[in-house]
With several copies, the nearest count.
Chain A
Amino acid sequence: MARSGAAASSPASVTGDGARSDATSLTREQKLELYYFMRLTRSLEERLVNLYRQTKVVGGLFRSLGQEADAVGSAYALDRSKGDMLSPLIRNLGSMLVQGAKPNEIIKQYMAKGDSPTRGRELNIHYGDLERGFIGQISHLGDMVPVMAGVTLSFKMRRQNRVGLVYVGDGATSTGAFHEGINFAAVQRCPLVVIVENNGYAYSTPLRKQTAAKQLVDKAIGYGIAGEQADGNDVIATYEVTKRAVDRARSGGGVTLIELITYRRKGHAEHDNQSYVPAGEIDRWAKENDPIDRYAARLNDEGVGAPELAAIDARVQSEIDEATDEAEASPMPDPTDALVGLYADPPAVAPLWFRQGIKSAVEVHERPASWGTHDV
């Protein structure tokens, strides 16, 4: 395996005891729930691919194939009953599902429906819900780090027992916003976990063109925070390393930077043909290090039979079918809804003079040739 063993390298600056895939306090039920969320993530994305090919998706489609363990395992370490919050990125569909996002919301978002969580304003999984504890990202990479520094600063100021988690990709670690945000949180000892999902690429850019650091976890010491690295394709290891960081944050120990080693098996978005990837690399990860295969094997070893997993798979399928039906039947937004909700006051922007009384701008929506050729 190319890089999945990185957790074992245990650099000087990494605290904790690295991957402990075997030791976990999770119950059997919780373990099956992890499986459920990973399967749901993958199958839901597969459904989106179908819809995309039917040209029912508006805009690009983003996959987290091969990264489901990283997303699900880390989010699972948060305590929803305590009001923990997370800020997902484009590969964190799994994290959002754990936090309570619903498949029909995701499909509606991708189909730009009027009753999608953003009412058709923002694309793909860019949405949030303060109640359920996740915050809608913007495209500008790194920007969510300062925002989550502020979210968790408010936890601290209000003496709340809550923790926040923010994801960044290997590429996003190069942004100024990442740096300013993590440093701010470190100084304030905010209860924040920063997960760097090192999936080897930022769009087409391999890690070595993104940073000269040997490993991204090496950045922790420069911020004076705890740093850990784990195998992001091992859902239990991911859960455990995140859980330690969440506990540390909750008990006043401040920020942890976790580097999860994983691999992006699909292109940046569906249109990307991955011509820049060395031959064989993707296959190797698919064959030797698929997080769901690995986890199913492990569960099997632990006595969970194939029929039990198949039952979960079936449940996932029917949930997705139902969600798809609901999403497809949903209406597109009302054009003039575009004017609503920019400010608390006034509640809507007035239509421009040439649109007074006009309800929609064009009768038929052209589908530009470039649809699907652009990214988040």
Chain B
Amino acid sequence: MSEITYLEAIREALFEEMERDANVFCLGEDIGAYGGAFKVTEGLMAKYGEERVIDTPISEAAIIGAAAGAAHMGMRPVCEMQFIDFISTGYDMLTNYVATARYRAMLPCPMVVRGPSGGYVRGGPFHSQNPEAAFLHTPGLKIVYPATASDAKGLLKSAIRDDDCVLYFEHKYLYRRIKEEMPSGDHLTPIGKARIAREGRDVSIITYASTVWKALEAAEQVEKEDGLSVEVVDLRTLLPMDDDAITATVKKTNRVLIVHEDTRTGGVAGEITARITENAFEWLDAPILRVTAADVPLPYSPPLEDYVLPQTSDIVLALRKLAAY
């Protein structure tokens, strides 16, 4: 088998799941004949028709709400947000209606909301967002954010089969930049399980999505230059969080760096830190550090975007500080 990109892996998952289950359908803006703003759904309408690949009006609340209604009736809708930044207009629908449906009214709500997320692409403040932290706080949702092509495929397939609503964030910087051979067969990545992206002994980096790659780069650099052995944990699922994997890496290295692309205050790193101090405080030999974006809307000009987003050199600096602690 040949390698495919992260984007192609997402597309492959959609094709396979639509083929497998007639209840799966897609809806979103420009996903049909046009194949979506990033061409993720290219070819889908040609194969499955306008009824199962629906071009919607520009109305994210309606897309999400309608998906919920269809999901109650046994369908398995997959919503595309043209850019994940527009999920904000469906925030009420997701957090109040969808997330509570099963709990308050025994209404099953198996659906996926996916869309291109993240920065490093000069997209500016409204085409670069990472909304995971805004939803981490909502019991009833699940959140996944793959960093590799095989996880992109495996997590989307699992998300579509999950009996609850899964927010599936896909990083647009990774779309065409990474390639991988897909595992054979019906490849499913379990929701709720982190992945050790690199084994190490001295310091742990806990991260997800685009910064997994920056973490790996930094790990390699400090191994070469400082002889440090860095473990990189790719969370993959943010909600529910894989406490076992987090605790295990802390107990192994006793030094933790949390890295995410999103802004700092109120970001996911805070929650991870709280869990570590609760579950493994005595194993910590150093403060838990965070490398994140600065707390501003993401500006678009290259020097500004580069300054605001976390870079490999920042991670290197933090690793050295932790190792020296």
Stretch at the interface among A12-20, A32-40, A167-175: A167-175
> Which chain B residues lie closer than 8 Å to A59 at the CB level?
122-124, 300
Q: Does A234 contact B (CB under 8 A)?
A: no
Complex contacts, B88 vs chain A, CB 8 Å: 140
Pick the contact of A338: B97, B304, B318 (CB < 8 A). B304
- Asked whether B303 lies within 8 Å of A360 as measured between CB atoms, the reply is yes
> Which of B30-38, B149-157, B227-235 participates in binding chain A?
B30-38
Which of B34, B69, B296, B303 is the one whose CB lies under 8 Å from A154? Answer: B69
List, in ascending order, chain A residues with CB within 8 A of B52's CB: 157
Interface pairs A-B: 9 shortest CB-CB: A146-B65, A150-B69, A120-B301, A136-B105, A150-B66, A204-B34, A174-B57, A344-B163, A180-B62
Shortest Cβ gap from B241 to chain A (Å):
13
A228 at the interface (CB under 8 A from B): no
In angstroms, how far is the closest chain A Cβ from the Cβ of B244? 13
B146 at the interface (CB under 8 A from A): no
Known contacts A135-B105, A140-B86, A276-B34; A146/B70 CB under 8 A: no
- Whether A150 and B65, one on each chain, are in contact in the complex, defined by CB atoms closer than 8 angstroms, is yes
Of A43-51, A125-133, A241-249, A255-263, which binds chain B?
A: A125-133
The answer to whether B297 touches A121, judged by C-beta atoms less than 8 angstroms apart, is yes
Question: Distance in Å from the Cβ of B22 to the closest Cβ of chain A?
Answer: 9
CB-CB < 8 A to A152: which residues of B? 69
Taken together as a complex, chains A and B put the C-alpha atoms of A138 and B66 apart, in Å, by 15
B275: shortest Cβ distance to chain A, in Å? 12
- In whole angstroms, what is the CA distance A368 to B162 when docked? 34
| C-alpha gap A354/B314 in the complex (Å) | 6
| B122 in complex: contacting residue of A112, A155, A184, CB < 8 Å | A112
Residues of B within 8 A of A188 (CB): 54
Q: Which A residues are CB-close (under 8 A) to B317?
A: 354
Interface 0/1 of A134-151, CB less than 8 Å to B: 011011111101111111
Decide if B57 touches A146 in the complex (CB within 8 Å). Answer: no
Kindly state whether residue A92 has any CB partner on chain B within 8 Å.
no
Q: Is B306 an interface residue (CB 8 A)?
A: yes
A139 touches B85 (CB 8 A): yes
| Residues on the B chain within 8 Å of A336, using CB | 307
A339 at the interface (CB under 8 A from B): yes
Inter-chain contact A335/B124, CB cutoff 8 Å: no
Report yes or no: B314 in contact with A355, Cβ–Cβ below 8 A.
yes
Produce 1/0 per residue, A4-25, CB < 8 A to B.
0000000000000000000000
Q: Is residue B177 within 8 Å, beta carbon to beta carbon, of the partner chain?
A: yes
Minimum CB–CB distance from A85 to chain B (whole Å) comes to 9
Q: Does B17 contact A (CB under 8 A)?
A: no
> Which residue of chain A lies nearest to B69 when distances are taken between CB atoms in the complex?
A150
Give complex CA distance A157, B48 in Å.
Answer: 12
Give CA–CA (A155, B32) in the complex, Å: 21
State which of B75, B106, B294, B302 has its C-beta within 8 Å of the C-beta of A58. Answer: B302
Which among B70, B73, B123, B291 has the highest number of chain A CB atoms within 10 Å? B73
User: In whole Å, how far is A281's beta carbon from the nearest beta carbon of chain B?
Assistant: 14
Q: Are B58 and A342 in contact (CB-based, < 8 A)? A: no
**Residues 287 to 309 of chain B near chain A (Cβ within 8 Å):** 291-292, 294-297, 299-304, 306-309
Q: Are B34 and A275 in contact (CB under 8 A)?
A: yes
Q: B66–A147 contact, CB under 8 A?
A: yes
Known: A59-B122, A130-B107, A349-B295. 12 other contacts (CB 8 A): A113-B301, A119-B301, A128-B107, A179-B59, A184-B63, A335-B304, A338-B296, A339-B294, A344-B108, A374-B83, A375-B127, A376-B127
- Residues of chain B contacted by A126 (CB below 8 angstroms): 104-105, 124
* Residues in B neighbouring A361, C-beta threshold 8 A: 306-309, 311, 313-314
Produce 1/0 per residue, B168-184, CB < 8 A to A.
00001101110000000
B contacts, CB < 8 Å to A: 25, 29-30, 32-34, 37-38, 51-52, 54-59, 61-75, 77, 82-83, 85-86, 88-89, 92-93, 96-97, 100, 102-108, 120-127, 139-140, 142, 162-164, 172-173, 175-177, 264, 278, 291-292, 294-297, 299-304, 306-309, 311, 313-314, 317-318
Smallest CB gap from A128: residue in B:
B105
When each residue 41-73 of chain A gets 1 if its CB lies under 8 Å from chain B and 0 otherwise, what string results? Answer: 000000000000000001100000000000000
Q: Roughly how many angstroms separate A172 CA and B177 CA in the complex, as a whole number? A: 33
A171 touching B96, Cβ below 8 Å: no
For residue B56, which residues in chain A have a CB less than 8 angstroms away from its CB? 184, 187, 209
Q: A145 near B303 (CB under 8 angstroms)?
A: no
- Nearest opposing residue in chain A for B111, CB measure: A150
Are A143 and B65 in contact, with the CB atoms below 8 A? yes
Give the docked Cα–Cα distance between A296 and B17 (Å): 56
CB distance from B45 to the nearest CB of A (A): 11
From A171, A342, A352, give the contact of B102 (CB < 8 A): A342
Q: Which residues of A contact B93 (CB under 8 A)?
A: 143, 146, 177
**Are B291 and A354 interface neighbours, CB within 8 A?**
yes
Check B69–A149 contact: CB distance below 8 A.
yes
- Cβ-defined contact, A154 with B307, below 8 A: no
Name 22 A/B residue pairs within 8 A (Cβ), A-sorted.
A112-B122, A113-B301, A121-B124, A135-B69, A135-B72, A136-B107, A139-B85, A139-B124, A147-B65, A150-B65, A150-B71, A152-B69, A177-B61, A202-B29, A204-B30, A204-B33, A211-B57, A343-B164, A345-B163, A349-B295, A352-B292, A368-B173
A143 to B82, CA, bound (A): 17
User: Does A118 belong to the interface (CB within 8 Å)?
Assistant: yes
With A112-B301, A351-B294, A352-B294 already in contact, the answer to whether A365 and B70 are too (CB < 8 A) is no
Report Cα–Cα, A355/B293, bound state, in Å.
11
Interface-central residue, A184, A276, A361, by most chain B CB under 10 Å: A361
Please indicate the chain A residues that have their CB under 8 angstroms from the CB of B85 in the complex. 139-140
Q: B173 → chain A, closest Cβ, in Å?
A: 7
Q: Is A322 interfacial (CB-CB < 8 Å)?
A: no
Q: Bound complex: CA of A126 vs CA of B75, how far in Å?
A: 23
A114 at the interface (CB under 8 A from B): yes
A100 on the interface (CB 8 Å rule)? no
> Among residues 277 to 333 in chain A, which have CB atoms less than 8 Å away from a CB atom of chain B?
332-333
